Amino acid sequence: MNKFRRFLLTAPIALAALGGQALAQSIPLSELSAYLNSLQTAEGQFTQINADGTISTGTIYIKRPGRIRFEYDPPERALVIAGGGSLAVFDPRSNTGPDRYPLSETPLSIILAREVNLGRARMVVAHGDEGNATYVVAQDPDHPEYGNIKLVFTGSPVQLRQWVITDDAGGETTVILGDMQVGGRIRDALFNIIAEEQRWSSN
């Protein structure tokens, strides 16, 4: 199992935790796309439920297009950054620097795109309701082999609550978002992989 999956592999959680049991009408794809395109910056806490039953927590920073940062709380001290077209996984136990992946080959690229268009042909492979939430399963229509991302939203107003990434090997990653501060200023330096690599090598 590579470091990316070891840090991010999680078990799915019940959507009932998002609220009441009343069924809701699916939020249209056009409305979900508009919401994601309006989400230029966001910052808040996230929770992972790991495959072995342990819980990981941390802080997430989003700066669209193309940038995201996961800072894991101690004792993990892991770090995942997307910026400059790459996704880097920093392992505090490694002496060889971060593992890197092209961001375009990960499902995260769908929500970090400059313009999100969930109505694009063959991008959305499932769209419906689960309890009081709307879900969308999306993939790169030109490269479905890269995996997919299941986005879970609540409405009134629309909010992204969690996502589940299924990677190219079938591994699943569930990220549950806490209350997010949207629209604030986030420093570009947080997404500079090269600068972060230099800091890690000097510690």
Question: In tens digits, what is the pLDDT along the chain, a chain of 203 residues?
Answer: 444 444 443 333 333 344 443 445 899 999 999 999 999 999 999 998 765 667 889 999 999 999 999 999 998 889 999 999 999 999 888 777 899 999 999 999 999 999 999 999 999 999 999 889 999 999 999 999 999 999 999 998 999 999 999 888 887 889 999 999 999 999 999 999 999 999 888 77
Strand blocks (E) in the chain: 41-49, 55-63, 67-72, 79-83, 86-90, 99-102, 124-130, 133-139, 148-154, 159-166, 172-182
Domain boundaries, the chain: 3-202
Whole-angstrom distance, CA of residue 195 vs CA of residue 78: 16
Per-residue model confidence (pLDDT) at position 53:
65
Q: What size, in residues, is the chain?
A: 203
CATH superfamily, domain 3-202, is Lipoprotein localisation LolA/LolB/LppX (2.50.20.10)
Q: Residue 24: its pLDDT value, please? A: 58
What pLDDT is recorded for position 14? Answer: 37
> Could you write out the DSSP letters of every residue in 17-60?
GGS-S---PPPPHHHHHHHHHH--EEEEEEEEEBTTS-EEEEEE
Kindly give, in sequence order, each residue whose CB lies less than 8 Å from that of residue 127, ignoring residues fewer than 6 positions away. Answer: 26, 29, 134, 135, 136, 137
pLDDT given for residue 191 in this prediction: 98
User: Residue 159 is encoded by which pair of tokens?
Assistant: 């909010």
CB 127 within 8 A of CB 136: yes
Tokens encoding 116: 């999100």
